[in-house]
Each structure stands twice: as C-alpha cells, then as structure tokens.
Amino acid sequence: MNRHFWRHYLEMVAAMFVAMMVLEPLRMVVVGALGWSGAFDRVEPLALAMATEMSAGMIAWMRFRGHDWAPTLQMCAAMFVPFLVLLVPHWAGALSADAVMVGGHVLMLPAMALVMVRRPQEYTKPRAHAAHSGKAHR
C-alpha cells in the first residue's frame, strides 16, 4: 500500500484516541449525573460505549476528509465487530472481561486495515477535506 493508505490509517487511529480522550470523561460525567454509573460495571455496555466513542471520532474525521457514508460506516463497524466477536467466548466463560476489552482494542487495528484493503480506491489516493473537495456532506 502507498503513503495515502498509511496516512489514512494513522489518521483513523488518532481520531479514535482523541475521541476516547474527549468523550469518555464526558460519558462518565453524564452517566454519573444520571445515577447510571453501575451500568458500566459490565463489559458489554462498556465495550459498546467505547466503540461508539471511537466511531464518533472516525465519523467526524472521515466526513471532514470527504469520504462517503458507506466507507465511513464500514470503518465504524471495525470498532464494534471485534468486541461483538469476543463477547461470545466471554459469555461462555472462556474470556474474562479484561481480555474482551484488551482483545477488542487490539483486533480493531487489523479490522480497520482489512476494511481499507477491501476499498483500495478509497484509501490509496490523496483526499482533500470536504470543504475543498467540493463534496457536500449528505
């Protein structure tokens, strides 16, 4: 793959981390204020909340960069699928909650790369952000 591919990949990783750093504390404040803090004692809501937070950052950045909804949502699926796959052995007693959280975060990295490899035309050419590319957000 070329430098545009790897640039996009690193941008997605950065968007994930920025979104987690911003949205997780916000979620904790809101959930605490509502008295729902105990809801995140279980791995399922915690994993889904984290995947949602990371997806929010990816959506914002991919749409800013002029990507259509289909590749944007596929990239977001790469945040959820690893957790969903790992929850099955967790429910069977074969994986701890910590293993689900660590494994989900680790597996989303190759999942993102797989999404990108399946759409090389989307990720191997330069992209301007939407305001300069003439692409309207839909």
- The amino acid sitting at 126 is P
pTM of the model: 0.85
Closest C-alpha to 58, from 43, 71, 45, 49: 71
Residue 1 pLDDT grade (very low, low, confident, very high; cuts 50, 70, 90) = confident
Kindly state the average pLDDT of the residues 31-36.
92
- Which of the 8 DSSP states describes residue 11? H
Given a cut of 50, whether residue 136 has pLDDT beyond it is: no
Structure confidence by residue, pLDDT tens digits, 42-93:
999 999 999 999 999 999 999 999 999 999 999 999 999 999 999 999 999 9
Given a cut of 60, whether residue 138 has pLDDT beyond it is: no
